[in-house]
Amino acid sequence: MAVIAVDCGGTNLVFGVFDESGGGDPAGVRPAPARAGAIPEAVVAAISPLLGPEVSAVGIGCAGLVDHVNGRLVWSPHASGPAVPLGPEVARATGLPVLVDNDANLAALAEARLGAGSGGRMVLFVGLGTGIGGGLVIEGRVERGRGFLGEMGHLVLDPAGPLCACGRRGCWEALVSGTSLGRSARELAAADPLGAVAHAAGGEVPRGEHLVVAAAAGDGEAARRLAAAGGWLGRGLANLVALLDPDVIVVGGAVAGAGEPLLGPARAVLAETVEGGGRRRATPVVPARFGRTAGLVGAALAVGEAA
């Protein structure tokens, strides 16, 4: 069975054809709409060339609060506007069954079943992208609470911190995410137009990936900013470990591509600040196996289960 899988994050809309076991590759990427009401049309336009007799369903992961039972995007910090019946609208346009879920829930499912969390009873997934999304899988099933469990990016760690897209200050994702690393990159490029970050950007608007490149090239201030972001990552993880005590934490998303310069400080701060400290067994913090495609793999798996 072939499934069209879609991952609509805060910045990009990625899509491709996958099989029900999660095999496949992205076929394309487009900018994610800034308005929630535009998402159904954007999804249909993106996937229409992929439709064919071999495709039996569509699975969509979307950032924000998702009513997975009815296929509604209830609210997104990255796409303004009222709730959208995303699943029903895409189903009406394509004539196919459509499953809609939170993007991090689907990525968590992929990593717990087939990826870096495989074998763990309780797998916590933390997705670092434009913001921070999260998913919790217990014994192979996504735990949802009353429906919206996993919005960990909006835990407030520093009430005096930077403004978050949700309107509050000091949310976890305002301190470590693609958005926060991009802000650091722009600050460093503005302070030193001939420096490593500006050079990495090559005339483009500096982004988080340029900060990572500059740090890898030996720029001390870029490395310090990246390590500071890792520290905030570790502080947030310490709170989640104290609350949930998972078997493993899988860190994915585009920002996780920074690798050990980010994850190393996160592990150190987690160990230093978690409640109970050395009296606990260390919680493994590992990079996602599927990287940026975890949400697509999870969408295919979820559709296969629902069939």
pLDDT tens profile 54-106: 999 999 999 999 999 999 999 998 899 999 999 999 999 999 999 999 999 99
Q: If one looks up domain 119-288 in CATH, what number appears?
A: 3.30.420.40
Question: Could you give the 3-state DSSP secondary structure of residue 67?
Answer: strand
Contacts of residue 105, defined as CB under 8 A and 6 or more positions apart, other chains included, come to 61, 66, 68, 135, 142, 144, 150, 298
The pTM assigned to this predicted structure is 0.95
pLDDT confidence bin for 306, thresholds 50/70/90: confident
Q: What are phi and psi of 300, to 5 degrees?
A: -65, -45
Contacts of residue 224, defined as CB under 8 A and 6 or more positions apart, other chains included, come to none
Structure tokens at 125: 């997934």
- pLDDT for res 127: 96
Structure tokens at 220: 């001390």
Name the superfamily (CATH) of residues 2-108+292-306: ATPase, nucleotide binding domain (3.30.420.40)
Strand partners, 65: 75
The boundaries of every CATH 3.30.420.40 domain in the chain are: 2-108+292-306, 119-288
